[in-house]
Amino acid sequence: MKKIITILIVIACFSCKNNQQDNGKLNVVTTTTMITDLVKNIGGDDINIQGLMGSGVDPHLYKASEGDVTKLVEANVIFYNGLHLEGKLVEVFEKMGTATKTPIALGEELDKRTLIGSDYFASNYDPHVWFDIKYFSQFAKKVTQVLSEKDPEHAVNFKANETVYLAKLEALEVKIKAIIETLPQEKRILVTAHDAFNYFGKAYDFEVVGLQGLSTATEAGVQDVQKLSAFIIEKNIKAIFVESSVPKRTIEALQAAVKSKGHDVEIGGTLYSDALGSAGTTEGTYIGMFEYNVKTIVQALK
Ligand code: ZN
């Protein structure tokens, strides 16, 4: 694998097709749609940005294409989530590191003592940190710092954009807290396809259960389905949720298992977990996605 990556990087260097624009602006490459949206908000018109992953793309399983490697080689700055979220890109990023271009793993910048531990990931931490708005605000500050170092001429603009964006994130926090408060404590149990919502649960006092565990790289077994269906019946849970970046058959199998035991559970809707909605829609932004998820969860569980 290591050899293939090196070869890809070499090929990309020789066949630089100028994917990136040569307009004097920083060329920034990002991975997930959440990070792409964040960096767009801070960088504004003063950067060129290319997000590798689109809407509905699962970052746990995403592999770099030859085109991606070219974009990465040509980039001035690379931002990614890290904490082994992008499990199959880690090696590529490690190869990319040079004195002038170090890919920035935003998750690695957080205070590790406050993160949720996990044995599953090589990082030893649950990587789904963007579901705590406080951490996403810290991402914003780091992005501002890095862009300002790389392009000091536009640092004033980046700082101004950061101020505006942080205020929006604060407003989002207030808004969703008010929505969640309408849901009684005993109904705050969130069952989804995989464990993306642990930070969300910690921040807003939900019990969170994912059918496939922390990564989609492992499939749910029959035993998991049986265990979780018994839990749903015992706790009298009204609804369970599909995720936009995970095939819905796993959640449908769970619903069928509950039904086979003579009970009923609704599919409460599709949540955006590891990817935002389509570009150009409200759910295609981090803020829109968060509000949509909270409204969907609260409405279905009430
Ligand atoms: Zn995930």
Give the model confidence (pLDDT) of 28-40 as tens digits: 999 999 999 999 9
Q: Measured in angstroms, how far is the CA atom of residue 127 from the centroid of ligand 1?
A: 8
Q: What pLDDT, on a 0 to 100 scale, did the predictor assign at position 144?
A: 98
**Over the stretch 131-163, which tens digit does the pLDDT of each residue have?**
999 999 999 999 999 999 999 999 999 999 999
- Residues lying with their CB under 5 A of ligand 1, a single-atom ion: 196, 274
Q: Measured in angstroms, how far is the CA atom of residue 216 from the centroid of ligand 1?
A: 6
Do 120 and 263 belong to one domain? Answer: no
Does residue 56 fall inside a structural domain? yes
Instruction: Name the least confident of 1-15, 172-186, 282-296.
Output: 1-15
Q: Distance between CA 162 and CA 44 in Å, rounded?
A: 10
Does residue 74 fall inside a structural domain? yes
- The answer to whether residue 10 scores a pLDDT higher than 60 is no
- Predicted TM-score of the model (pTM): 0.91
Does residue 289 fall inside a structural domain? yes
Q: What pLDDT, on a 0 to 100 scale, did the predictor assign at position 214?
A: 67
Q: Measured in angstroms, how far is the CA atom of residue 225 from the centroid of ligand 1?
A: 19
Does residue 214 fall inside a structural domain? yes
Instruction: Name the least confident of 97-101, 179-183, 225-229, 268-272.
Output: 97-101
Using DSSP's 3-state secondary structure scheme, residue 151 falls into: coil
Does residue 206 fall inside a structural domain? yes
Does residue 235 fall inside a structural domain? yes
- The answer to whether residue 3 scores a pLDDT higher than 50 is yes
User: Mean pLDDT, to the nearest integer, of 170-197?
Assistant: 96
Q: Which of 129, 154, 174 is the last residue of a domain?
A: 174
What kind and span of H or E run contains 174? helix 155-180
Q: Measured in angstroms, how far is the CA atom of residue 249 from the centroid of ligand 1?
A: 17
CATH of the domain at 12: 3.40.50.1980
Note the Cα 153 to chain centre separation in Å. 30
**8 A C-beta contact, residue 294 and residue 137:** no
Q: Measured in angstroms, how far is the CA atom of residue 128 from the centroid of ligand 1?
A: 6
Do 14 and 117 belong to one domain? Answer: yes
User: Mean pLDDT, to the nearest integer, of 210-222?
Assistant: 75
Do 25 and 110 belong to one domain? Answer: yes
Q: Measured in angstroms, how far is the CA atom of residue 296 from the centroid of ligand 1?
A: 19
High-pLDDT (> 90) share of the chain, %: 77
User: Mean pLDDT, to the nearest integer, of 166-189?
Assistant: 97
Q: What pLDDT, on a 0 to 100 scale, did the predictor assign at position 168?
A: 98
Question: Residue 28 belongs to what domain range?
Answer: 2-174
High-pLDDT (> 70) share of the chain, %: 91
Q: Distance between CA 56 and CA 210 in Å, rounded?
A: 18
Do 170 and 188 belong to one domain? Answer: no
- 4 vs 129, residue with greater confidence: 129
Does residue 179 fall inside a structural domain? no
Q: Measured in angstroms, how far is the CA atom of residue 111 from the centroid of ligand 1?
A: 20
Does residue 62 fall inside a structural domain? yes
Q: Measured in angstroms, how far is the CA atom of residue 191 from the centroid of ligand 1?
A: 14
Do 144 and 255 belong to one domain? Answer: no
When pLDDT is cut at 50, 70 and 90, the band that residue 17 belongs to is very low
Do 118 and 251 belong to one domain? Answer: no
Do 215 and 138 belong to one domain? Answer: no
189 φ/ψ angles, rounded to the nearest 5 degrees: -125, 120
Q: Which of 150, 174, 198 is the last residue of a domain?
A: 174
Q: Measured in angstroms, how far is the CA atom of residue 85 from the centroid of ligand 1?
A: 7
Picking from 180, 265, 179, 249, the residue whose alpha carbon sits closest to that of residue 216 is 249
- The answer to whether residue 219 scores a pLDDT higher than 90 is no
**8 A C-beta contact, residue 105 and residue 81:** yes
User: Mean pLDDT, to the nearest integer, of 181-200?
Assistant: 95
Do 22 and 126 belong to one domain? Answer: yes
Q: Measured in angstroms, how far is the CA atom of residue 92 from the centroid of ligand 1?
A: 20
Q: Which of 148, 174, 200 is the last residue of a domain?
A: 174
Q: What pLDDT, on a 0 to 100 scale, did the predictor assign at position 138?
A: 98
Q: Measured in angstroms, how far is the CA atom of residue 168 from the centroid of ligand 1?
A: 25
Do 117 and 214 belong to one domain? Answer: no
When pLDDT is cut at 50, 70 and 90, the band that residue 95 belongs to is confident
Do 166 and 209 belong to one domain? Answer: no
**8 A C-beta contact, residue 246 and residue 58:** yes
Q: Measured in angstroms, how far is the CA atom of residue 34 from the centroid of ligand 1?
A: 13
Do 7 and 131 belong to one domain? Answer: yes
Q: What pLDDT, on a 0 to 100 scale, did the predictor assign at position 159?
A: 98
Indicate the number of domains in the chain.
2
Do 203 and 112 belong to one domain? Answer: no
Mean pLDDT (the chain, rounded): 91
- The answer to whether residue 53 scores a pLDDT higher than 70 is yes
Q: What pLDDT, on a 0 to 100 scale, did the predictor assign at position 99?
A: 65
Q: Distance between CA 56 and CA 63 in Å, rounded?
A: 14
Q: What pLDDT, on a 0 to 100 scale, did the predictor assign at position 169?
A: 98
When pLDDT is cut at 50, 70 and 90, the band that residue 221 belongs to is confident
Using DSSP's 3-state secondary structure scheme, residue 82 falls into: coil
